[in-house]
């Protein structure tokens, strides 16, 4: 049996209504939702709202984090960071895009790009490629500047404008290279190698004294060519100082750490090697003024010497008269000095003559006292003084003094000397005390 009724007609949606219907379906099916992924394209608007995408190997979702949630962040999100976020899926009706409104955001790790960056950074740092000791100072006035960047990059315009404004007299050698994409690392290495050959002493063309490696800002993927290991090793081999000006002030690449100096922006890199011509001209003017002043002082001194010489040569009689006066004054001072010396000598002799009798008298008195003291000591030592006190001096037949009992034997004849004469005695019996 056949149904001959008319088929039901499909619903025709208004675009906005369909977007709202899809949003309602997402709200009912998923929200709230928690997502884990890697940040890319992060930016913060002047309003405080943050916009970025969250991605993994299979997909990508646009995200918006309004100011009321962004102010609660305890870190600064960066491209390449692995994060976990909680929010609500919806549809941005003006574009019909799937969008995740983020309520909270926290680190879940450091994404694959960033982890690879950190591993290479640690390896090269351990090898000494980042050591400050190997980095060179920039030339104050380079004879030529080498430049590596993309022909279509805004960085090229910024650098050329700064150099043309500040040092239009210094030649700039541009070697273009790709700065983004899979082939960019090799392109950058080829460009640097070419500049290295041109920077050697004796190479044809302008002498290159410094090299600028620059690129504008972007996500970690956009700047990944400057995290190439072979490029890093080539940078440290540069024959002249090399400045890396890649990305914005908050962007860091392996090239920045290997370069002799990192500039926060491409324009800043150009300004580091281009002291304005007005400064050099002012320095030259100051130097010229100092040289002129020194030359004038030198001429003035010689002019004075010439004037003095002319005065001496022009009036020889006056000089002779002055010399005669000086000679007379010298002779007078000499006579006065001689008279003064003779007078002092006479005074010294007179004083010596007055002091001599007094000195002799004192000397005689001193000698007399010495003699008297010696006579007194001699008198005290005279043995006759002892004899007067009842002592006797015994001597044997040979006149030798007998001072001990052992020297005398019974029957010996001795002589006793007293104070007024001698007595002969005979020993009968010696007695010991």
Please state, for a pLDDT cut of 90, what percent of the chain lies above it.
32
Average pLDDT of every residue of the chain: 82
- If one compares 110 and 233, the residue with the highest pLDDT of the two is 233
The reply to whether omega before 32 is within 30° of 0 (cis) is yes
What is d(CA 172, CA 206) in angstroms, rounded to the nearest whole number?
Answer: 9
347 located within any domain: no
* Other Cβ atoms closer than 10 A to 103: 15
Whether the per-residue pLDDT at 349 is higher than 60: the answer is yes
The size of the chain, in residues, is 433
Q: Name the residue range of residue 418's domain.
A: 386-426
Same domain, 147 and 101: no
- R_g over Cα of the chain: 60
* CB-CB contact of 426 with 412 (8 Å): yes
222 located within any domain: yes
Pick left, alpha or beta for residue 102 (phi over 0 → left; psi -120 to 50 → alpha; otherwise beta): beta
254 located within any domain: yes
Same domain, 171 and 94: no
Q: Which two tokens stand for residue 249?
A: 């002030």
Same domain, 153 and 258: yes
Same domain, 273 and 184: yes
* CB-CB contact of 64 with 42 (8 Å): no
pLDDT tens sequence across 11-30: 777 776 777 777 777 776 66
Whether the per-residue pLDDT at 110 is higher than 60: the answer is no
Same domain, 272 and 141: yes
What is d(CA 281, CA 277) in angstroms, rounded to the nearest whole number?
Answer: 6
Q: From residue 274, how far is each of 129, 143, 247, 261 by CA, in Å?
A: 27, 11, 20, 15
Q: Which two tokens stand for residue 326?
A: 């000086």
Same domain, 143 and 97: no
307 located within any domain: no
CATH number at residue 255: 3.40.50
Sign of CA dihedral 281, 287, 288, 289: positive
CA-closest candidate to residue 272, choices 119, 167, 423: 167
pTM for this prediction: 0.49
Domain end residue (candidates: 255, 278, 301): 278
Same domain, 200 and 264: yes
Same domain, 199 and 250: yes
Domain end residue (candidates: 240, 263, 278): 278
Domain end residue (candidates: 79, 110, 141): 110
52 located within any domain: yes
Structural domains in the chain (count): 3
Which residues, other chains included, contact 219 with Cβ-Cβ below 8 Å and sequence gap of 6+?
40, 41, 42, 79, 80
Same domain, 174 and 231: yes
303 located within any domain: no
Q: From residue 223, how far is each of 109, 164, 217, 245, 338 by CA, in Å?
A: 20, 27, 8, 12, 100
Same domain, 94 and 135: no
Same domain, 159 and 254: yes
pLDDT of residue 1: 44
pLDDT of residue 2: 41
* CB-CB contact of 69 with 100 (8 Å): no
pLDDT band at 4 (very low <50, low <70, confident <90, very high): very low
Same domain, 106 and 135: no
Whether the per-residue pLDDT at 372 is higher than 90: the answer is no
- For the chain, how far is it from start to end, CA to CA, in angstroms? 187
CATH number at residue 42: 2.40.50.140
What is d(CA 145, CA 209) in angstroms, rounded to the nearest whole number?
Answer: 6
Highest mean pLDDT among 74-78, 150-154, 411-415: 150-154
pLDDT of residue 24: 72
pLDDT tens sequence across 41-54: 999 999 999 999 99
What is d(CA 258, CA 320) in angstroms, rounded to the nearest whole number?
Answer: 81
134 located within any domain: yes
223 located within any domain: yes
């Amino acid at each position: 049996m056949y149904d001959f009724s008319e088929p039901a007609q499909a619903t025709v949606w208004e675009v906005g209504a369909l977007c709202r219907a899809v949003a309602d379906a997402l709200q009912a099916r998923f929200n709230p939702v928690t997502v884990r992924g890697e940040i890319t394209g992060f930016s913060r608007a002047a309003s405080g709202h943050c916009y970025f995408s969250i991605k993994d190997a299979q997909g990508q979702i646009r995200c918006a984090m309004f100011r009321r949630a962004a102010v609660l962040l305890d870190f600064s999100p960066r491209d390449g960071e692995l994060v976990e976020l909680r929010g609500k899926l919806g549809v941005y009706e003006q574009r019909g895009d799937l969008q995740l409104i983020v309520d909270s955001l926290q680190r879940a790790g450091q994404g694959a790009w960033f982890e690879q960056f950190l591993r290479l950074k640690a390896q090269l740092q351990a090898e000494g490629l980042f050591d400050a000791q190997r980095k060179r100072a920039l030339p104050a006035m380079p004879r030529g500047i080498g430049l590596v960047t993309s022909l279509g990059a805004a960085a090229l315009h910024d650098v050329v404008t700064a150099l043309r404004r500040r040092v239009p007299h210094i030649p700039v050698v541009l070697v273009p290279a790709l700065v983004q994409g899979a082939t960019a690392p090799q392109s950058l290495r080829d460009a640097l190698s070419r500049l290295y050959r041109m920077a050697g002493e004796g190479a044809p063309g302008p002498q290159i004294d410094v090299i600028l490696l620059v690129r504008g800002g972007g996500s970690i993927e956009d700047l990944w060519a400057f995290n190439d290991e072979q490029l890093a090793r080539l940078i440290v081999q540069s024959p002249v100082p090399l400045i890396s000006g890649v990305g914005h002030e908050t962007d860091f690449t392996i090239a920045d750490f290997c370069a002799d100096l990192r500039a926060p922006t491409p324009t800043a890199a150009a300004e580091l090697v281009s002291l304005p011509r007005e400064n050099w001209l002012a320095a030259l003017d100051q130097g010229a003024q100092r040289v002129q002043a020194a030359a004038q002082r030198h001429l003035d001194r010689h002019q004075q010497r010439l004037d003095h010489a002319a005065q001496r040569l022009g009036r020889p009689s006056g000089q002779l008269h002055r010399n005669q006066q000086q000679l007379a004054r010298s002779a007078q001072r000499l006579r006065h000095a001689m008279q003064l010396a003779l007078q002092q000598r006479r005074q010294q002799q007179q004083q010596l003559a007055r002091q001599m009798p007094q000195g002799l008298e004192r000397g005689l008195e001193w000698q007399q006292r010495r003699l008297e003291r010696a006579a007194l000591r001699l008198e005290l030592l005279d043995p006759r003084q002892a004899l007067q006190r009842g002592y006797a001096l015994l001597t044997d037949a040979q006149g030798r003094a007998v001072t001990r009992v052992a020297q005398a034997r019974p029957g010996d004849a001795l002589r006793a000397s007293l104070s007024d004469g001698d007595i002969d005695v005979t020993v009968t019996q010696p007695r010991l005390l």
